[in-house]
Amino acid sequence: MAKETLTIIDNRTGKSYEIPITHGTIPAMKLREIKVSEDDFGLMSYDPAYQNTASTISRITYIDGERGILEYRGYPIEELAEHSTFLEVAWLLLNGELPTKEELESFQREVTLHTMVHENMREFIEGFRYDAHPMGILISTIAALSTFYPEAKNVSDPANRRLQIIRLIAKVPTLAAYAYRHRRGLPIVYPDNDLSYAGNFLNMMFKMTELKYKPNPVVERALDVLFILHADHEQNCSTSTMRIVGSSKADPYSALAAAAAALSGPLHGGANEQVIHMLRQIGSKDRIPEFIKKVKAGETKLMGFGHRVYKNYDPRAKVIKRLAYEVFDAVGKNPLIDIAVEVERIALEDDYFIKRKLYPNVDFYSGLIYEAMGIPLDMMTVLFAIGRTPGWLAQWEEMHNDPEQKIARPRQVYLGPARRPFVPIGERKKG
Ligand code: SDX
63-96 pLDDT, tens digit per residue, is 999 999 999 999 999 999 999 999 999 999 999 9
First to last CA, the chain: 62
Cα separation, 394 vs 92, in Å, equals 9
Question: What sign results for the dihedral spanned by CA atoms 171, 176, 177, 181?
Answer: positive
Q: Return the DSSP state at 360.
A: B
336 lines ligand 1 (CB under 6 A): no
Active site (annotated) includes residue 329: no
The DSSP element (H or E) to which 20 belongs, if any, is strand 15-20
Angle at 152 between CA 149 and CA 153, to 5 degrees: 120
- Nearest-CA residue for atom 47 of ligand 1: 356
- Nearest-CA residue for atom 35 of ligand 1: 308
Residue among 361, 380, 389 to mutate when testing ligand 1 (max atoms within 8 A of CB): 361
Nearest to 181 by CA among 196, 202, 197, 167: 202
Nearest to 371 by CA among 321, 335, 318, 319: 335
Q: In this predicted structure, what is the pLDDT of residue 1? A: 82
Phi-psi region for residue 108, left (φ > 0), alpha (ψ -120 to 50) or beta?
Answer: alpha
Inform me whether the pLDDT recorded for 305 exceeds 80: yes
What is the distance in A from the centroid of ligand 1 to the CA of 321? 20
Q: In this predicted structure, what is the pLDDT of residue 62? A: 98
Nearest to 220 by CA among 77, 341, 323: 323
Half-sphere exposure of 397 (CA within 13 A, CB side): 23
pLDDT digits (tens, 9 = 90+) for 19-41: 999 999 999 999 999 999 999 99
Average pLDDT for 198-212: 98
Atom of ligand 1 nearest to the CA of 230: 8
306 lines ligand 1 (CB under 6 A): yes
Residue among 53, 228, 229, 308 to mutate when testing ligand 1 (max atoms within 8 A of CB): 308
Per-residue confidence band for 226, with pLDDT thresholds at 50, 70 and 90: very high
Q: In this predicted structure, what is the pLDDT of residue 45? A: 97
Atom of ligand 1 nearest to the CA of 49: 33
Q: Which residues, 6 or more positions from 306, have their beta carbon under 8 angstroms from its beta carbon? A: 356, 358, 359, 361
Domain boundaries, the chain: 1-46, 107-262+380-391, 271-373
Same CATH topology for 107-262+380-391 and 271-373? Answer: no
Q: In this predicted structure, what is the pLDDT of residue 56? A: 98
Question: What sign results for the dihedral spanned by CA atoms 118, 119, 120, 125?
Answer: positive
What is the distance in A from the centroid of ligand 1 to the CA of 358? 8
Contact (Cβ atoms closer than 8 angstroms) between residue 261 and residue 140: no
What is the distance in A from the centroid of ligand 1 to the CA of 353? 11
- Is CATH 1.10.580.10 correct for 107-262+380-391? yes
Inform me whether the pLDDT recorded for 431 exceeds 80: no
Other beta carbons less than 10 A from residue 122's beta carbon: 17
Angle at 319 between CA 316 and CA 324, to 5 degrees: 120
Q: Tell me the pTM.
A: 0.96
Specify which residues 70 forms β-bridges with: 63
Inform me whether the pLDDT recorded for 233 exceeds 80: yes
The CATH class of the 271-373 domain is mainly alpha
Cα separation, 147 vs 151, in Å, equals 9
What is the distance in A from the centroid of ligand 1 to the CA of 160? 38
Annotated catalytic residue within 133, 251, 307, 314 = 307
Burial of 307 from C-beta contacts in 10 A (0-12 / 13-18 / 19+): buried
295 lines ligand 1 (CB under 6 A): yes
294 lines ligand 1 (CB under 6 A): no
Annotated catalytic residue within 64, 114, 118, 268 = 268
305 lines ligand 1 (CB under 6 A): yes
What is the distance in A from the centroid of ligand 1 to the CA of 364? 12
Contact (Cβ atoms closer than 8 angstroms) between residue 408 and residue 53: no
Rounded-to-10 torsion of CA 212, 216, 217, 222: -130
Cα separation, 373 vs 225, in Å, equals 14
Active site (annotated) includes residue 363: yes
365 lines ligand 1 (CB under 6 A): no
Rounded-to-10 torsion of CA 343, 347, 350, 354: -170
pLDDT digits (tens, 9 = 90+) for 79-138: 999 999 999 999 999 999 999 999 999 999 999 999 999 999 999 999 999 999 999 999
Q: Return the DSSP state at 234.
A: S
pLDDT digits (tens, 9 = 90+) for 35-63: 999 999 999 999 999 999 999 999 999 99
Determine phi and psi for 27, rounding to 5 degrees: -70, 115
Contact (Cβ atoms closer than 8 angstroms) between residue 139 and residue 257: yes
Per-residue confidence band for 293, with pLDDT thresholds at 50, 70 and 90: very high
